[in-house]
Amino acid sequence: MQWIWGVLTLSGCSIHYSAKGLIFQPSGQESSEDFSLYLGSSEGQQWRLHLGEDGLYFPYLVGCGAEVKGVRLGRHLWVNTWQVTDAGDGSAPFLGVLRFELGRYWLHDLNTDSELEILDVGWETGTFSNLVGRPILVTGLIVGGHQIQVFSIRLLEDE
């Protein structure tokens, strides 16, 4: 009976896990419809990610850095919460569904859980209009209170 208690105590300490690294897809799976995503750390560790309903953006985030938290069993990680920490170019991204309200573009950022105004200064007219209602990842510079000057946009769904 004591060994059961010991196993439960030991696994309880290591079952909840937080990992930070690069989202990647093993080579040879790019064309497969049922592909797996992995998170690789800078120490060389790898975990296969098992994502819930909110993980639908992850196939489009390959090459980005993320921090995930969840239940770990071996080299498998069932993700409960996640945050994209690197857009692949070293910058912290903003991601969510683009909206157009009151003559401005808005994004509810999933990383910070805040409303951000997306400034289209310097972009061609109409560039953002075809992205309204679609999930995007934005990199840019914070130029004011909750205002982002866009440097790049990545669509997080099939075109």
Q: What is the pLDDT of residue 29?
A: 60
pLDDT at 30: 57
d(CA 117, CA 152): 15
Structural domain that includes position 29: 2-86
- Domain identity same for 80 and 99: no
pTM over 0.95: no
Clarify whether residues 67 and 103 are in a common domain.
Answer: no
Q: Which residue, chain included where needed, has tokens 């937080």?
A: 18
Total number of domains constituting the chain: 2
Question: In whole angstroms, how far apart are CA 124 and each of 96, 130, 156?
Answer: 21, 12, 21
As averages over each run of 10 residues, the pLDDT of the chain (159 residues) reads 53 74 82 74 93 86 94 91 91 93 92 90 68 92 90 88
pLDDT at residue 20 in the model: 95
Same domain, 6 and 71: yes
Question: What pLDDT, on the 0 to 100 scale, is given for residue 3?
Answer: 55
Do 64 and 113 reside in the same domain of the chain?
no
Which of 86, 106, 132 is a domain's end point? Answer: 86
Question: Of 86, 117, 146, which residue is a domain's last?
Answer: 86
CA pair distance 31, 62, nearest whole angstrom: 14
Q: Are residues 43 and 24 in the same domain?
A: yes
Together in a domain, 59 and 120: no
Choosing from 86, 114, 139, the residue where a domain stops is 86
Beta bridge partner(s), residue 40: 22, 46
- Under 8 Å between Cβ of 51 and 38: no
Residues 107, 82 within the same domain: no
In the block, residue with structure tokens 């075809």: 130
Three-state DSSP class for residue 60: helix
